[in-house]
Structure 1
Amino acid sequence: MKNFCPRWRTRCLENGYISDWDREWVYHFSEGGYADIEWVEIKTENAAEAAIVLAALKKIHVPGEQWEHGFRIYGYVTAGQPVEYL
Protein backbone atom coordinates (compact mmCIF):
# COMPACT_ATOMS: atom_id res chain seq x y z
CA MET A 1 0.00 0.00 0.00
CA LYS A 2 3.06 2.17 -0.51
CA ASN A 3 3.19 4.98 2.07
CA PHE A 4 -0.30 4.36 3.45
CA CYS A 5 -0.25 2.70 6.90
CA PRO A 6 -3.76 2.32 8.28
CA ARG A 7 -4.33 1.48 11.92
CA TRP A 8 -4.96 -2.16 12.81
CA ARG A 9 -5.55 -4.37 15.84
CA THR A 10 -5.87 -8.08 16.51
CA ARG A 11 -7.89 -10.40 18.69
CA CYS A 12 -6.19 -13.39 20.31
CA LEU A 13 -7.94 -16.71 19.76
CA GLU A 14 -6.70 -18.21 23.02
CA ASN A 15 -7.69 -15.53 25.54
CA GLY A 16 -9.84 -12.99 23.63
CA TYR A 17 -7.37 -10.14 24.18
CA ILE A 18 -7.85 -7.27 21.72
CA SER A 19 -4.67 -5.33 21.09
CA ASP A 20 -4.40 -1.56 20.97
CA TRP A 21 -4.60 0.11 17.58
CA ASP A 22 -1.19 0.23 15.87
CA ARG A 23 0.27 1.53 12.59
CA GLU A 24 3.50 -0.47 12.53
CA TRP A 25 2.97 -3.27 10.00
CA VAL A 26 6.43 -4.48 9.05
CA TYR A 27 7.84 -5.15 12.51
CA HIS A 28 4.81 -7.00 13.91
CA PHE A 29 3.87 -9.07 10.88
CA SER A 30 7.41 -9.97 9.83
CA GLU A 31 8.18 -11.53 13.21
CA GLY A 32 5.59 -14.31 12.85
CA GLY A 33 3.32 -15.26 15.72
CA TYR A 34 0.18 -15.52 13.62
CA ALA A 35 -1.05 -18.85 15.00
CA ASP A 36 -3.34 -17.33 17.64
CA ILE A 37 -4.82 -14.38 15.70
CA GLU A 38 -8.59 -14.80 15.50
CA TRP A 39 -8.97 -11.64 13.42
CA VAL A 40 -7.23 -8.46 12.31
CA GLU A 41 -9.23 -5.26 11.99
CA ILE A 42 -7.96 -2.58 9.65
CA LYS A 43 -9.41 0.86 10.33
CA THR A 44 -9.99 3.32 7.50
CA GLU A 45 -10.90 6.97 7.90
CA ASN A 46 -12.70 7.61 4.61
CA ALA A 47 -13.82 6.07 1.31
CA ALA A 48 -10.47 6.72 -0.39
CA GLU A 49 -8.58 4.81 2.33
CA ALA A 50 -11.14 2.00 2.22
CA ALA A 51 -10.63 1.68 -1.54
CA ILE A 52 -6.84 1.37 -1.08
CA VAL A 53 -7.20 -1.33 1.56
CA LEU A 54 -9.89 -3.23 -0.34
CA ALA A 55 -7.74 -3.32 -3.49
CA ALA A 56 -4.81 -4.73 -1.49
CA LEU A 57 -7.02 -7.34 0.22
CA LYS A 58 -8.55 -8.44 -3.09
CA LYS A 59 -5.05 -9.09 -4.45
CA ILE A 60 -4.39 -11.65 -1.71
CA HIS A 61 -8.00 -12.98 -1.50
CA VAL A 62 -8.48 -13.29 2.26
CA PRO A 63 -11.51 -14.30 4.33
CA GLY A 64 -13.08 -11.18 5.75
CA GLU A 65 -15.70 -8.50 5.65
CA GLN A 66 -16.02 -4.78 5.33
CA TRP A 67 -17.61 -2.83 8.18
CA GLU A 68 -18.39 0.84 8.62
CA HIS A 69 -14.89 1.74 9.89
CA GLY A 70 -12.78 -0.61 7.79
CA PHE A 71 -12.24 -4.33 7.43
CA ARG A 72 -12.04 -7.47 9.55
CA ILE A 73 -9.82 -10.27 8.24
CA TYR A 74 -10.32 -13.68 9.80
CA GLY A 75 -7.61 -16.04 10.93
CA TYR A 76 -10.13 -18.43 12.48
CA VAL A 77 -13.91 -18.78 12.42
CA THR A 78 -16.19 -21.11 14.33
CA ALA A 79 -17.43 -24.26 12.60
CA GLY A 80 -20.39 -23.46 10.40
CA GLN A 81 -19.79 -19.69 10.40
CA PRO A 82 -20.16 -18.41 6.84
CA VAL A 83 -17.25 -16.33 5.61
CA GLU A 84 -16.85 -14.40 2.41
CA TYR A 85 -13.54 -13.76 0.69
CA LEU A 86 -12.48 -10.28 -0.29
Structure 2
Amino acid sequence: MIPTMNNTKWRELQRAMLALGDHSPNWRTKCKANDHISNWDGEWFYHFSDGGYEDIEWVEIKAENEQHRKLVLSELRKVHVPGQKTENGFKVYGYVKAGDFVEHL
Protein backbone atom coordinates (compact mmCIF):
# COMPACT_ATOMS: atom_id res chain seq x y z
CA MET A 1 0.00 0.00 0.00
CA ILE A 2 1.20 3.48 -0.94
CA PRO A 3 0.44 6.41 1.43
CA THR A 4 -1.55 9.25 -0.11
CA MET A 5 -2.01 11.41 3.00
CA ASN A 6 0.25 12.68 5.74
CA ASN A 7 -0.51 14.08 9.19
CA THR A 8 -0.77 17.61 7.82
CA LYS A 9 -3.38 16.61 5.22
CA TRP A 10 -5.37 14.61 7.80
CA ARG A 11 -5.43 17.65 10.09
CA GLU A 12 -6.53 19.87 7.17
CA LEU A 13 -9.38 17.44 6.49
CA GLN A 14 -10.30 17.39 10.17
CA ARG A 15 -10.36 21.21 10.38
CA ALA A 16 -12.39 21.46 7.16
CA MET A 17 -15.07 19.11 8.52
CA LEU A 18 -15.11 20.92 11.87
CA ALA A 19 -15.59 24.20 9.99
CA LEU A 20 -18.98 22.92 8.86
CA GLY A 21 -20.22 23.33 12.44
CA ASP A 22 -23.76 21.97 12.78
CA HIS A 23 -23.39 20.49 9.29
CA SER A 24 -20.27 18.53 10.19
CA PRO A 25 -20.77 15.04 8.69
CA ASN A 26 -20.51 11.59 10.23
CA TRP A 27 -17.51 9.48 9.29
CA ARG A 28 -16.08 5.99 9.63
CA THR A 29 -12.62 4.62 8.96
CA LYS A 30 -11.05 1.43 7.71
CA CYS A 31 -7.93 0.29 9.55
CA LYS A 32 -5.07 -0.69 7.25
CA ALA A 33 -3.55 -3.04 9.83
CA ASN A 34 -6.57 -5.30 10.42
CA ASP A 35 -9.28 -4.23 7.90
CA HIS A 36 -11.63 -3.19 10.75
CA ILE A 37 -14.29 -0.68 9.70
CA SER A 38 -15.33 1.55 12.57
CA ASN A 39 -18.87 2.52 13.47
CA TRP A 40 -20.16 5.82 12.17
CA ASP A 41 -19.04 8.71 14.37
CA GLY A 42 -19.77 12.41 14.26
CA GLU A 43 -17.07 13.72 16.59
CA TRP A 44 -14.21 15.17 14.53
CA PHE A 45 -12.27 17.04 17.21
CA TYR A 46 -11.09 14.21 19.49
CA HIS A 47 -12.33 10.91 18.06
CA PHE A 48 -11.04 11.40 14.53
CA SER A 49 -7.46 12.01 15.60
CA ASP A 50 -7.49 9.61 18.57
CA GLY A 51 -4.57 7.22 18.09
CA GLY A 52 -3.14 9.14 15.14
CA TYR A 53 -3.62 8.66 11.42
CA GLU A 54 -1.02 6.01 10.57
CA ASP A 55 -3.49 3.13 10.16
CA ILE A 56 -6.32 4.92 8.33
CA GLU A 57 -6.68 3.21 4.96
CA TRP A 58 -9.68 5.40 4.18
CA VAL A 59 -12.28 7.56 5.83
CA GLU A 60 -15.82 7.54 4.51
CA ILE A 61 -17.75 10.75 5.00
CA LYS A 62 -21.53 10.59 5.02
CA ALA A 63 -23.63 13.24 3.30
CA GLU A 64 -27.23 13.34 4.51
CA ASN A 65 -28.75 14.81 1.34
CA GLU A 66 -27.80 16.65 -1.85
CA GLN A 67 -27.42 20.03 -0.14
CA HIS A 68 -25.21 18.48 2.54
CA ARG A 69 -23.18 16.70 -0.17
CA LYS A 70 -22.47 20.07 -1.82
CA LEU A 71 -21.36 21.63 1.48
CA VAL A 72 -19.03 18.74 2.28
CA LEU A 73 -17.61 18.61 -1.24
CA SER A 74 -16.89 22.33 -1.12
CA GLU A 75 -14.75 21.81 1.99
CA LEU A 76 -13.06 18.72 0.55
CA ARG A 77 -12.07 20.65 -2.55
CA LYS A 78 -10.48 23.36 -0.42
CA VAL A 79 -8.08 20.84 1.12
CA HIS A 80 -7.61 18.86 -2.13
CA VAL A 81 -7.59 15.32 -0.78
CA PRO A 82 -7.34 12.01 -2.66
CA GLY A 83 -10.80 10.50 -2.86
CA GLN A 84 -14.00 9.79 -4.67
CA LYS A 85 -17.74 10.26 -4.44
CA THR A 86 -19.63 7.29 -2.99
CA GLU A 87 -23.24 6.29 -2.48
CA ASN A 88 -23.05 7.58 1.12
CA GLY A 89 -21.05 10.70 0.33
CA PHE A 90 -17.27 10.56 -0.09
CA LYS A 91 -14.26 8.38 0.60
CA VAL A 92 -10.85 9.91 1.30
CA TYR A 93 -7.88 7.58 0.91
CA GLY A 94 -4.95 7.41 3.29
CA TYR A 95 -3.44 4.51 1.33
CA VAL A 96 -3.98 2.96 -2.10
CA LYS A 97 -2.68 -0.18 -3.72
CA ALA A 98 0.42 0.29 -5.86
CA GLY A 99 -0.64 1.06 -9.41
CA ASP A 100 -4.15 2.26 -8.47
CA PHE A 101 -5.13 5.73 -9.61
CA VAL A 102 -7.13 7.98 -7.31
CA GLU A 103 -8.54 11.38 -8.16
CA HIS A 104 -8.39 14.36 -5.86
CA LEU A 105 -11.56 16.01 -4.69
User: Shorter-chain TM-score: what band?
Assistant: over 0.9
User: What do the CA deviations read for 1:34-66 (whole angstroms, capped 9, x no partner)?
Assistant: 000000000111100000110000000000000
For structure 1, the residue ranges without an aligned partner over 5 or more in a row are none
Judge which range, 55-64 or 3-12, deviates more. 3-12
Counterpart pick for 2:97 among 41, 59, 78: 78
Partner residue in 2 for 1:61: 80
Counterpart pick for 2:45 among 26, 46, 49: 26
**Percent of aligned positions with the same letter in both sequences?**
57
SS where residue 57 of structure 2 aligns?
strand
Distance (Å, rounded) in 2 between the aligned partners of 1:35 and 1:20? 18
Number of residues of Structure 1 aligned to a counterpart in Structure 2: 86
Question: Residue 30 of structure 1: CA displacement?
Answer: 4.3
Q: RCO greater where, 1 or 2, for CA within 8 Å and sep 6 or more? A: 2
Question: Which structure features the higher share of helix residues?
Answer: 2
Summarize the Cα distance change of 1:49–1:11 in structure 2 as closer, same or farther, 3 Å threshold: same
Distance (Å, rounded) in 2 between the aligned partners of 1:37 and 1:30? 10
Summarize the Cα distance change of 1:61–1:20 in structure 2 as closer, same or farther, 3 Å threshold: same
